[in-house]
Amino acid sequence: MTNIRLVAFDVDGTLFRGENVCGCIGRNIGRSTEMVAFELLRSREDITNGREAMLEWYLPFSKAKLIEHLADLRLAPGVTQGFNRLKAAGIKIALVSITWQFAVEWLATELGADYAVGTGWREDDTLSHFWPEDKAIYLNSLLAELKMKRASLAAVGDSYGDIPMLNFASRSYFVGETRPQELLHSEHWPDANIEDIVLDILARR
């Protein structure tokens, strides 16, 4: 039994199923073809360049206008109910994603999460990049700020980009279809209902 006091969730593929944040915005601003190409990028340099190109597409629009499109996205089953259960139990919630921070912050507000982090779009229209390994670094800093130990952290993710976060957490759940071998201790709950994961966390708390 561990006293989980903070749960970190990835966003795309974990809390949103199907279309992701960048794909949804791209479709709504006429950039679907370019987004298909972006999703195939793998090197850090290519992804950096791709993000910078994406920001150029966004500049004619306000963040508020781009956020309006996110209403098209489909939440995973049980997200609202699961988050309500965590809040009722006094457990903090962090949304930790490599997608755009403005979108992650919007979702955190919608769901009542306590913390949100992602790739930043600064006031001077430059980027503050956030990478998979930054997820664990961020959570380590957040635990220190909250005066919590790693044993207090659970995490939920769905992709290779979540491996650093899932391995860092004391308990973790992988909701993607195929569990990566690099995961040290994550339980595999493919396409899981988020409320079911929360109930498991609370039952074993």
The CATH code of the domain that includes 125 is 3.40.50.1000
Residue 205 has pLDDT above 90, yes or no: no
Residue 80 and residue 46 share a domain:
no
Mean of pLDDT over the chain: 97
Taking residues 168-181, what's their average pLDDT? 97
Residue 169 has pLDDT above 90, yes or no: yes
Percent of the chain scored above 70 by pLDDT?
Answer: 99
Residue 93 and residue 30 share a domain:
no
Q: So what's the pLDDT on residue 103? A: 98
Residue 48 and residue 84 share a domain:
no
Residue 47 and residue 13 share a domain:
no
* Cα distance between residue 124 and residue 103, in whole Å: 18
Structural domains of the chain, count: 2
87: enclosing H helix or E strand: helix 79-88
Residue 145 and residue 50 share a domain:
no
Residue 61 and residue 11 share a domain:
no
Residue 189 and residue 164 share a domain:
yes
Taking residues 5-29, what's their average pLDDT? 98
* Cα distance between residue 16 and residue 74, in whole Å: 6
Q: So what's the pLDDT on residue 2? A: 62
Residue 3 has pLDDT above 60, yes or no: yes
Query: Are residues 137 and 170 in contact, defined by beta-carbon separation less than 8 angstroms?
Result: no
> 116 lies in a domain?
yes
Residue 163 and residue 65 share a domain:
no
Residue 140 has pLDDT above 60, yes or no: yes
Question: Which pLDDT band holds residue 106 (cuts at 50, 70, 90)?
Answer: very high
* Cα distance between residue 201 and residue 170, in whole Å: 11
Q: So what's the pLDDT on residue 164? A: 98
Q: So what's the pLDDT on residue 126? A: 97
Residue 82 and residue 53 share a domain:
no
73-88 confidence digits (pLDDT tens): 999 999 999 999 999 9
Residue 114 and residue 47 share a domain:
no
pTM over 0.95: yes
Taking residues 39-47, what's their average pLDDT? 96
Q: So what's the pLDDT on residue 204? A: 87
Taking residues 26-30, what's their average pLDDT? 98
Residue 22 has pLDDT above 90, yes or no: yes
DSSP 129-172: ---HHHHHHHHHHHHHHHT--GGGEEEEE-SGGGHHHHHHSSEE
Residue 185 and residue 118 share a domain:
yes
Residue 58 and residue 14 share a domain:
no
Taking residues 156-160, what's their average pLDDT? 97
Polymer length in residues for the chain: 205
> 1 lies in a domain?
no
Range of the domain at 38: 21-71
φ, ψ (nearest 5 deg) of residue 186: -65, 140
The DSSP secondary-structure symbol of 128 reads E
* Cα distance between residue 187 and residue 47, in whole Å: 29
Q: So what's the pLDDT on residue 1? A: 54
